[in-house]
Structure 1
């Protein structure tokens, strides 16, 4: 069960509440100065981890306000018995591309063993935690707020393993860079996979700390036999209507094709183009997921024109041409001239990334070259877009000629139910 949750504001007093974080008397807080869970752990002189053998699940995003990494800080402090680190997709130091990892080895900077945990099952996590002799697992990764971004599932599976082993689990929370509002369809059980292990909404609108609380209450008792001994070190001064650009939290690329907060803003929607074989989502360009297009012989400027004519809120589309230099999910498009659109968000508060992407798919479907990506390894569920959206519904509705309002309206009830269900686990 949860031992404690360190909340924001006045409610956040406690183990870290009297550690020098208070502002001088009479001083006003800086606009949108946000303290992450890591900032608060350091300010508390690592007291939360005292007397524990600690293993850290992190990647290059686990940094403080001066871009110093959690593992490096812990190692240099001498205050924590750090025994291991665990690397997710892209690796602990971030040297691997999508679908890759760095392998298991010794970290050159700290000398600690880093275990390759990308795609690890619960059994594998139990083996790694036991082999490393970890008492407390610490998770600190910047998520981008989307169900098919795999770090939250690394957290979930490692939580389950920690629960089974009777270990403690600490989440150092970070703001959701695309805000706290939920959008999109629910995952359904038949379509769960590595890009959506459990039934949550596509753009969940939660921080990793909030998700950990939700997972612990809703899924772990059945999955792991009991809840994990969970502590969430919450952020201070973050609000649900804030985006990454509204805070001073440093941005470090969470993955090689997530270079900026602008990328994260569009990713909940344009990430769906990983499920279209004939259209690249711009991997290998300077604007991945903002640039979307297919072979210039197959797609043209009319795509942008038709999308702009829809006057979707908070967004415009620029006719764009680009050459993907990473094959990603679209090897035939590698190093070929592609024509399509650049997604230009004009109003973050009004913009709905998933509704926008549905409009893009509806219009792209009108081109003869449009084709959904099918994977031969899974003949029962061959369409990747179904795994991304959580069911066959979006694909079959678009194929049947449904327009945007019908597709989006189909998930309104499940979205409302999720918003209600997640409410007790929100911290901000």
Structure 2
């Protein structure tokens, strides 16, 4: 087992990893910007190191400062959380060069899955079903028109280095294609420094289903079921469920086995999530995230497996703690992402929390570093906490979620709690009848 872990992140995920370290008896170090000096993970860590001013580029994305913090404190491993440097192959390479264990996959696997075209090609080779689309980059407007005609309208033009909906455009007719292709390239260049785009068939009412996988890097791999992340706004997940209301046991195990087999072939190491669009009983690969996901707690709730413990175990060379046959799925879990945002306009709402009361009771979990008097800085992601609820059935889970939302109090700032109170009472949500466009349609027809 590694002897000391540096947590290269902030907020609720830094606190989540810190708790896992303490449970395993592993000393931990956290890094922080000057804006996060009073953060909960800083208060609770064994050691903390300030690595720079508030801007992420000068602190949480500053690789040299993080490596220096490892050397100063004697940390022999780094857990990157999610976001920031969690999928940065250069960071993984630099840590390796300094004999520091990166708690994640290899740099090569990060690179493969970080480029959308390479990832899709690799998925095909590994036997994972993909969305019909271009063979690779669509380099000219003429190629865009020809490719769209072969795929069939509507089509989706996407940045190869994309994420979060940037560099992504829909074209419904030939007249749309050139403008969409040009706009996607411009957005991609601005957001990622890479203007390459590719093209896929646009599915009209798909769900977003993702499969949690784990590999030991030696050819052993398992899946831990699926999560339904279809409730999204501008391609950002808002509400997640495990298991999906849309799948039955046979579908779940079939796609899970396909993903686990692929990870065995790849000799993948650590936690990963393979994301699909799902429509008319068919799965279509869209990307793989080579890190822990924000929504990992709902998988933990239905499997009883601590994913961060498992990450640390695998990174320490001790292999997986369970076999596929030992993985069981119990009950239903839902996660709501509580953001410091206006619940309708989604404008960020930084400021001081004047009153904070978290819900409790059976089956209720809060992952948050927020507390009364905490000042939310304006420099980072607006996520301030996650409400995770587990029940024996989806109906029980929804009832428990409704109660927990009514108990949750965050004053002094605006949050998305009122939105979730609306959603938990909606009949479509109660029926599990929604797709990736549902939430935006709902918000358009239910203005504040």
TM-score by length of 1: 0.30
Query: Which structure is higher in helix share?
Result: 2
Query: Which structure is higher in strand share?
Result: 2
Higher relative CO (CA 8 A, sep ≥ 6), structure 1 or 2? 1
TM-score by length of 2: 0.29
